């Protein structure tokens, strides 16, 4: 008997509602299940971290930043791939370096190409056709 495929959960944390909606639509069209949050605290309250196959985090969030959330999860032993997105100027690359050193799989600057986000996801997650 063949099992039913359940799309992998991607948790998106960004304080821009329009961007959250756009990413959710993109991910769903690519065969992923997306759940969106406006802050790190909202994500943690929803307990979605335990079910998420990957996190897409804005660097700058109200309250706890995306980098602080990543550090917290690493300290707790969570091994969830993280893709950072940011609109902040990182001319010297220090934010990107910190994120990647802490284990992020990608660091994308807004506005980013849809293909770049999907490529980063496909590097760490199997798709529904695999």
Pairwise pLDDT comparison (75 vs 1), residue with the higher score? 75
**pLDDT value at 5 more than 90:** no
* pLDDT given at position 129: 44
Tens digit of each residue's pLDDT (9 = 90 or more) over 33-56: 999 999 999 999 998 898 999 999
* pLDDT given at position 89: 83
Please give the full DSSP string across 11-57, using - where no structure is assigned: EEE-S-HHHHHHHHHHHHHTT-EEEEESSHHHHHHHTGGGT-SEEEE
Q: Which residues contact 126 (CB under 8 A, 6 or more apart)?
A: 8
**pLDDT value at 71 more than 70:** yes
Tens digit of each residue's pLDDT (9 = 90 or more) over 114-123: 999 999 999 9
Classify each residue of 74-93 as buried b or exposed e, where b means 16 or more C-beta atoms within 10 Å of its C-beta.
Answer: eeeeeebbbbbbbeeebeee
Residue 32 to residue 93: CA distance in whole angstroms: 30
Tens digit of each residue's pLDDT (9 = 90 or more) over 81-92: 999 999 988 888
The mean predicted confidence, pLDDT, of the chain is 91
**pLDDT value at 1 more than 50:** no
Res. 130 pLDDT band, cuts 50 70 90: very low
State percent of the chain over pLDDT 70. Answer: 92
Residue 120 to residue 64: CA distance in whole angstroms: 24
**pLDDT value at 126 more than 80:** no
């Amino acid at each position: 008997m063949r099992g039913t495929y359940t799309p992998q959960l991607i948790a998106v944390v960004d304080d821009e509602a329009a961007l959250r909606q756009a990413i959710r639509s993109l991910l769903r069209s690519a065969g992923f299940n997306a759940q969106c949050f406006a802050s790190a605290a909202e994500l943690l309250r929803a307990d979605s971290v335990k079910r998420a196959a990957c996190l897409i985090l804005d660097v700058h969030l109200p309250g706890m930043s995306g980098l602080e959330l990543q550090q917290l999860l690493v300290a707790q032993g969570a091994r969830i791939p993280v893709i950072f997105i940011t609109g902040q100027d990182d001319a010297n690359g220090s934010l990107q370096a910190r994120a990647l050193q802490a284990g992020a799989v990608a660091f994308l600057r807004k506005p980013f190409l849809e293909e770049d986000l999907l490529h980063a996801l496909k590097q760490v997650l199997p798709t529904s056709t695999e």
